[in-house]
Amino acid sequence: MNIVLLGAPGSGKGTQASLITEQYGLPHISTGDMFRENIREKTPLGVLAKSYIDKGQLCPDDVTVKMVEERLSRADCKKGFLLDGFPRTISQAEALEKFVKITCVLDIEVPLDKLLGRLTGRRCCEKCGESFHVSVIGKTEICPKCGGKLYTRADDNEETVQSRLNVYASQTASLIDFYQRKGVLKSVNGDAAVEEVFAAVQEVLNTL
């Protein structure tokens, strides 16, 4: 199964991705995580990516496509994969088509007015990478899952979030139509509890 997860920033892609990975054993390929790892390790790619990510803009298509193509060519992706955060532009989607066949594109739908609060209230775990919302976990700085330290992502401040949402509307949302026309799009309601969203996701994946 070659799966693409679509959805606005804050739609819960990352959370669903880790549940899918656990249940179906697919490698989780998150371009956001890959960029952040490069930023942490101060690689040339990381330095370049940081200058875009900090402004809430997309990293250039050419470097992003190259990074994904290299990742998908590794042995662990031969039996399938879960792409999270890629493609984000039509040009990335067209490039992707040239090197793999996508089984299904899952679009997680959340009303736009809920996204800002979801992102600015997000806390991430340094250790396990999971993210949580302050409305659920309160003010704690300890990860409820693994006990690691929680932090707020640098690009989760209100100004950057606003530009990420604008980028989504202007460059990424059109992928819904793109994949609809190819007949591979499945939508699930993301405006529900994590378990309910995952139940809907499983319903789709189990029929593939």
Chain positions contacting Zn ion, by CB under 5 A: 125, 127-128, 143, 145-146, 148
| Closest C-alpha to 46, from 65, 30, 67, 70 | 67
> Is residue 70 classed exposed, middle or buried when 0-12, 13-18 and 19+ CB atoms within 10 A define those classes?
exposed
Q: Site map for ligand ADP, 159-188, x if CB under 6 A? A: -----x------------------------
> Is residue 160 classed exposed, middle or buried when 0-12, 13-18 and 19+ CB atoms within 10 A define those classes?
buried
- Does 190 contact ligand ADP by CB under 6 A? no
Q: Is 101 in the active site? A: no
Minimum gap (Å) between residue 207 Cβ and ligand ADP: 26
Instruction: Give the one entry of Zn ion, ligand ADP, none that residue 79 binds, where binding means its C-beta sits below a cut-off of 5 to 8 angstroms depending on kind.
Output: none
Scanning residues 58 to 97, which ones bind ligand ADP (CB under 6 A)? 58-59, 64, 85-86, 88, 92
Report the distance separating Cα 91 and Cα 59, nearest Å. 13
Q: Is 36 in the active site? A: no
Instruction: List the one residue from 15, 20, 35, 200 that touches ligand ADP (CB under 6 A).
Output: 35
- Does 16 contact ligand ADP by CB under 6 A? no
DSSP label of 149:
B
- Please report which residue ranges of 7-89 form alpha helices under DSSP H: 13-24, 31-40, 44-53, 61-72
**Which residues are part of the catalytic machinery?**
13, 88, 122, 153, 164
